[in-house]
Every structure is written in C-alpha cells, then in structure tokens.
C-alpha cells in the first residue's frame, strides 16, 4: 500500500502490524499533517465479529480525551477498506526501552503514574483496555506516555438494565477465545470470564513488576504454560528481585497482582494516588526532606478587587522565607501559582503538586487596615492543621508574613537555624506605600512586553522615591533597564541606568541575593563577564533557590560560547522553576548548535508544552506565544506555529521584541517577505537589533534578499 492513497490519505510507510490490522504513516492531504492510519485487512473485515471489535476500538478510544491516550481522528470506510485515523506517536514502545536499558525509580514513576492516570480517565468513561502490556505503551521523544491499542477494550455500562444491550456488548467475546496477552493477563481473562476495570489493574501490576524488576511476573515456554502460571503462581515480591524497590511499592504491586479481584485496588484512582505518595516520599528521602509544602496565591477579598499584586506578594514572601528552612521542600512560585483562581479540591491540588500540606489564605485591604486569614491544610484528608486571622495595620505586613511562616515551622515541628529563629521574613522597607509600589512593579515586570516593563519601571521609581534606601526597588529598576537594553532599545543610557541602579542596590543591601543577580545581569550586558560571574555566584550562595541568578548566568555563558556550562546552569534554573518555558527552548538552541538533534527535539517539545501551559494561565503572555511558536515550527507543526506567532503579534504589534521574534518565526516558515516586513517595523518603532540581525541563524533564509541587505546596511555597523 506504500505510496497509494485511501480517500485523502497518502500512505508513506508501514509502522507496525498485528492481529487487528496494520498501522501506516500517512499524510492527510487536506489538513496537511502526518497521521497514523490503522487498516483492517480485507479478509479479516469479512468476519462480522472482528469488524465489530475493530469499530469498538475506535469508539473506546474516541470516548476518552486524555494526554496519555492516543487521539483518534476518525473512523472511515472506503469500499471494502475499513480504517481508523489517529494521532501519530513518534517514539519507542516501553518493551523496546526495557530491552535496551536498566530502569531506575525516577523513570519507573514517570511511566507508572501517567499510565494509571490514563486508565483512570478511560475507566471514568466506561472503557476497559483488557490488553495492557509494554508493547502497547509508547514513550514519545519528549518523554510523554501514550497508551495505544484499545482493540480489546469493552464498553462497560454499569447502570444498564437492558439485557439486549448487555448481550450485544458481550458478543465481542467469542466463546473459548482468549483475548489478551498471556504475560499480563488477569486470571479472570485466562478463564474467559468477565473482565472489568480490576483486570486492567492486574495488568498494570504486571507491567510495573516487569518495569521495576526487569522480569515478567509470569513465565513459560508456551502461551498455555504462561496462562497456567497466571492462574497458579505468586510472583516473587519486587523487593526481593530488586532491593532498590521501596517496600511500599513492592506491597502495592503485590496487591495489584492478587488472584482475587476483590483483593486488588478497586479503583485505579486509589492506585494512582498511592503511587504519587510513594514517589514523593522517595524524592523526599533522597533529598533528606521530611516535609513538602506549597503556598497558593492568597485570594483578594478587598472591596475593589484591585489587590492581586499584594496577595501574590504575600504568598511569595512566605515561599522565600520557607525555602530557607532545612528539610522542607517548598514548591516554586510558578508551579503553585498555576492554581490561582482555579478552585477545586485542595487535596487533589496538593497531590498534583506532590506535597503534604498546602497554605492558602485571603487578604482584605481597605485603606491602612489589613485583614489576612491563613490556613494550613493537610493534603491527606483536607483538614485544617492550623488557621489564624490577622487584623493589623498595613505597616505590620512583614510582621504578619513572618508570623505565618513561623507558625508553619512550629506546626510541622521543623528545626531552623538559630540565626533565623527571630525572623524568617526579611524586612526590606518600613514604608508600606513603597512596598505596595514595589509589589505592583514586580507583578508588571513578570508579564513581559514593552508596555508592562515601562509600567513596572514607573512603579519601581515610585517605590524608590518614597523610600530611597529600598534596595529591592533599585534592583527592580536595574532589571527594567537591562530588559529595555536587551529587547527594546540598546542605548548607552539604558545600560548606564542598569549599572547605576544595580550598584546602588548592592550598596544599600550587600546581603540581598536579588541585588547581586541584577548586578550580574548589568555587568553581563556590559560584557564584563568575570565580574558578572562573581555576582551570579554570590547571588546563588545567598539564595540557592533564586531562579534569576541561574537563568541570567546561563545566558551570559551562552554569549561566551561556554555551551556545556550554560546547559548546566539552565538545568539548575529549571529545578528552581520547573514550569518556566524559556529554559528548555533556549537549551534547544544550544543543542542545535552542538548538533545534538535528539536532545534538541526533546527540549523543544518540553518548551512547547510549558508555553502552552503558560498561555492557559496568562493568555496575554506574548513571549510564551512567540517562543512556543518557534518550538512548534522546529518540530514540524508549522500551522500551529504560524497561529501562535500571529497571536503574539496581535497582542502588541508595536513591541520590537515581539516583532523581531515573530520575524524569526516567519523566517523559519519560509515566509520571507513577511519576515522582512516585521524586521522593518522593528526599526520604525525605534529598535535596531544590529548584532542580532547580522548574526542570528534564524534569519539565514533572509540573507540573500535585497530588502534584508538594505535594512541591515541602514543600521550601520554593529557595536
């Protein structure tokens, strides 16, 4: 069938084949995308029972929408050819991966938890898989788990009282025909008995046993011998085969493999939750951590609903204070703040974040009066471990933040450094008005874009004018000038102000990590690299959790061509802020320069996924749009990449940073004239990226065009 067409699908190559049909790589000529096309052989399609099962597969997959389950596009019939079109999954099967490498605990949980999550979604739609095995589990190049082949799935209608409907469903099980793969089948499937969700749980247990021990739980020379082993044998506990297996995990797998379905987990969601708890405990043990906490953004209960910056500021200060407590793991701001305004079950939020406890609260601010309510919640049962209301004056805000942090330490019975017993939260200014302007500035600065940075700059100016000794405000000012120099206007004035304000911040507070990071960035832009490195190292020593220190240090190393070290510092920035989309996308550029294609693709996929998440949280994040677009284009998703690039441009068509980066996107798409249009507009709005236009490899497709040559010539020689 290679090179033939079925309807609008052109067959490119064969991917795999099995009893339920052959799978081909095909091109959808109408939508211009690659797909997987599963064709049922004509001789098999003549069997009504097999054809019914084939169509059943399509209904089973289509009923579930989950990121870890293959997406089905359509079920079609052309002449005597029956086929399904599906999402194309590029990667390797779990069976192939296990054959090539030893599996560590980290990889185990990266597979097992998404697998149970996929089944949880399927079971919620009344779908059982009934043929779960490593060969039906794909791992994409980006590391995402995808469950394939619901060919033996059966729609379950627990509320149905229609015997005719039930009988029609059961006709898919042919008398005396064993459906499934012997090594991972449940005893009830071996007996050709009814198979429900608990059969999938047995199969998950068998897969997990194989994954953690490297050995199948049931063995034999023939299918008959294997099925006899399933009915008769009790596999050796995983911990006896692999001493590195945590005892709780070994017990969990044993429970999944119970012969009696009634003794297994009765719901896969319970299994998933326990797996997550074991994973988190393993991580904490490895880090010497005895507790994990997430601080959610406080809710704004003020009359005008205009205190979001203040609410997030309170939560951030508490995060920073708790991050310095030994044996306490604190989830990063970006990770926990994604649950802003989403509501939902706090226990489920806590489990998703992998923590024992959650701190949430509310703020009501009216004039100089302040009411803060804070409560610490036990994720295991949703109960309050501690709660308190603070009715104070605005000037007492640092004291309140410190009391909350101190209370958490006491409730969790943690020990802290004697030097920090009196104060966990640092008092940065004694003027509440200056602090309020500073928080507003920080909120705008994180939104990116020319207009937001200019607003942030005004806020930091106001803060520093009210309190000239407010070091954090001067550090914020330095960062805004550095940003303007990097992305908007590379004028000597911007660089001079970045240098002046970062130096002033350090003069006011030599122990402020943010000031050292700001100083490092200003020095980096001035190309004083050794001094910049010293500033970044000092910032990291003062605050090992400071994202900006690692991030800007990595960028400085890239400029110097120290790629391997830059990758290392980007990795550390990722640990400090795991949901930041910029890091993997910038790493992908380094991997491209080093010719490491596989790592480049994986980084681009992760960056794209994180950019998508960032857009859901902040639809006006233009940087996420154009950086995500770049990754999509490099991954071959040209149509989506173009949509995202245009979305970025629509958010602010006069922002030179957006214009320049969208030009890079369009260049990668081969839309040469449109790319040059964008570059010309960057010059018209006052930006002149001389160095970038002459050296950026993203613009290589434009270099022989006369319009581009003329534009570059008009900028003069680079500085």
Angle between helices 582-594 and 597-617 (to 10 degrees): 160
Residue 40: closest CA among 76, 4, 90:
76
DSSP string, 380-409: TT--EEEEEEEEEEGGGHHHHHHHHHHHHH
Q: Distances from the Cα of 386 to the Cαs of 357, 553, 645, 703, in angstroms?
A: 11, 40, 47, 64
Catalytic residue among 131, 280, 436, 499: 131
Distance CA 629, CA 633 (A): 6
696: helix, strand or coil: coil
Q: What phi, psi does 37 have (nearest 5°)?
A: -125, 120
Nearby residues of 170 by Cβ (< 8 Å), 6 or more positions away: none
Residue 406: closest CA among 337, 525, 321, 512:
321
Report whether 318 contacts 372 (CB < 8 A).
no
Q: What is the 3-state secondary structure (H, E, C) of 305-350?
A: CCCHHHHHHHHHHHHHHHHCCCCEEECCHHHHHCCCCCCCCHHHHH
Q: Distances from the Cα of 126 to the Cαs of 119, 160, 265, 435, in angstroms?
A: 10, 12, 17, 54
- Written as six digits, the tokens of 249 are 């995990």
Distance CA 20, CA 44 (A): 8
Residue 64: closest CA among 105, 122, 18, 109:
122
Distance CA 420, CA 397 (A): 18
Element at 99 (helix H, strand E): helix 94-100
Q: What is the 3-state secondary structure (H, E, C) of 103-114?
A: CCHHHHHHHHHH
Q: What phi, psi does 365 have (nearest 5°)?
A: -120, 125
Distance CA 157, CA 120 (A): 16
Burial class (CB in 10 A: 0-12, 13-18, 19+), 167: exposed
Tokens 């036990």 locate to: 378
Report whether 473 contacts 438 (CB < 8 A).
yes
Q: Is 696 a catalytic residue?
A: no
Q: Do β-strands 5-6 and 9-18 pair in parallel, antiparallel, or remain unpaired?
A: antiparallel
Q: Where in the sequence numbering do the catalytic residues fall?
A: 131
């Amino acid at each position: 069938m290679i090179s033939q067409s079925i309807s609008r699908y052109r067959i490119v190559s064969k991917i795999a084949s099995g009893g339920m049909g052959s799978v081909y790589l095909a091109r959808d000529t109408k939508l211009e995308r690659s797909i997987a096309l599963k064709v049922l052989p004509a001789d098999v399609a003549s069997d009504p029972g097999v054809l019914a099962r084939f169509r059943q597969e399509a209904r089973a997959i289509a009923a579930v929408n989950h990121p870890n389950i293959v997406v089905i596009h359509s079920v079609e019939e052309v002449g005597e050819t029956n086929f399904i079109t599906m999402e194309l999954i590029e990667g390797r099967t779990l069976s192939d991966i296990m054959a090539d490498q030893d599996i560590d605990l980290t990889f185990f949980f990266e597979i097992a938890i998404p697998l149970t999550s996929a089944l949880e979604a399927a079971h919620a739609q009344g779908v059982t898989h009934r043929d779960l095995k490593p060969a039906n589990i794909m791992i994409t190049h980006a590391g995402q788990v995808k469950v394939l082949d619901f060919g033996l799935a059966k729609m379950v209608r627990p509320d149905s009282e229609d015997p005719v409907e039930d009988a029609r469903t059961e006709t898919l099980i042919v008398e005396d025909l064993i459906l499934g793969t012997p090594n991972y089948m449940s005893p009830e499937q071996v007996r050709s008995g009814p198979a429900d969700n608990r059969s999938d749980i047995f199969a998950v247990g068998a897969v997990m046993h194989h994954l953690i021990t490297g050995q199948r739980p049931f063995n034999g020379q023939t299918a008959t011998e294997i099925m006899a082993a399933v009915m008769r044998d009790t596999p050796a506990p995983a911990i006896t085969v692999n001493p590195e297996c945590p005892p709780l995990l070994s017990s969990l797998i044993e429970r999944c493999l119970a012969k009696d379905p009634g003794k297994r987990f009765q719901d896969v969601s319970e299994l998933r939750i326990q797996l997550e708890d074991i994973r988190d405990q393993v991580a904490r043990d490895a880090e010497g951590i005895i507790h994990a906490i997430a601080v959610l953004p406080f809710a704004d209960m003020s009359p005008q609903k205009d205190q979001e910056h203040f609410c997030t500021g309170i939560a951030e200060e508490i995060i920073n204070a708790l991050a310095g407590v030994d044996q306490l793991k604190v989830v990063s701001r970006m990770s926990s703040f994604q649950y802003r305004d989403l509501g939902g079950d706090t226990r489920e939020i806590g489990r998703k974040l992998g923590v024992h406890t959650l701190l949430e609260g509310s703020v009501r601010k009216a004039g100089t009066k302040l009411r803060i309510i804070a409560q610490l919640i036990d994720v295991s049962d949703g109960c309050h471990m501690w709660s308190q209301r603070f009715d104070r004056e605005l000037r007492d805000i640092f004291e309140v933040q410190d009391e909350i942090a101190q209370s958490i330490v006491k409730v969790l019975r943690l020990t802290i450094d004697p030097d920090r017993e009196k104060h966990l939260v640092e008092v940065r200014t004694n003027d509440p008005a200056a602090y309020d302007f500073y928080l507003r500035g920080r909120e705008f600065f994180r939104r990116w874009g020319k207009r937001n940075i200019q607003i942030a700059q005004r806020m930091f100016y106001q803060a520093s004018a009210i309190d000239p000794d407010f070091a954090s405000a001067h550090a914020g000012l330095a960062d805004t000038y550095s940003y303007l120099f990097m992305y908007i206007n590379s004028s000597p004035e911007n660089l001079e102000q970045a240098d002046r304000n970062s130096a002033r911040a350090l003069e006011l507070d030599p122990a402020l990590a943010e000031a050292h990071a700001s100083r490092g960035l200003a020095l980096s832009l001035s190309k004083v690299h050794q001094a910049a490195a010293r500033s970044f190292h000092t910032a990291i020593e003062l605050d090992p959790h400071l994202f900006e220190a690692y991030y800007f240090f990595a960028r400085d190393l890239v400029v110097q061509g120290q790629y391997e070290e830059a990758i290392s510092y980007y990795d550390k920035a990722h640990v400090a802020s795991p949901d930041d989309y910029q890091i993997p996308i910038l790493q992908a550029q380094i991997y491209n320069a080093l010719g490491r294609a596989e790592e480049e693709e994986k980084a681009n996929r992760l960056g794209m996924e994180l950019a998508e998440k960032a857009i859901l949280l902040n639809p006006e994040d233009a940087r996420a749009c154009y950086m995500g677009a770049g990754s999509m284009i490099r991954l071959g998703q040209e149509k989506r990449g173009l949509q995202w690039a245009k979305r970025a441009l629509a958010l602010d068509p006069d922002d030179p940073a957006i214009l320049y980066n969208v030009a890079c996107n369009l260049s990668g798409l081969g839309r040469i004239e449109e790319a040059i249009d964008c570059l010309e507009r960057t010059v018209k709005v006052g930006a002149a990226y001389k160095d970038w236009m002459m050296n950026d490899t993203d613009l290589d497709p434009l270099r022989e065009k006369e319009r581009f040559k003329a534009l570059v010539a008009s900028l003069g020689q680079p500085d």
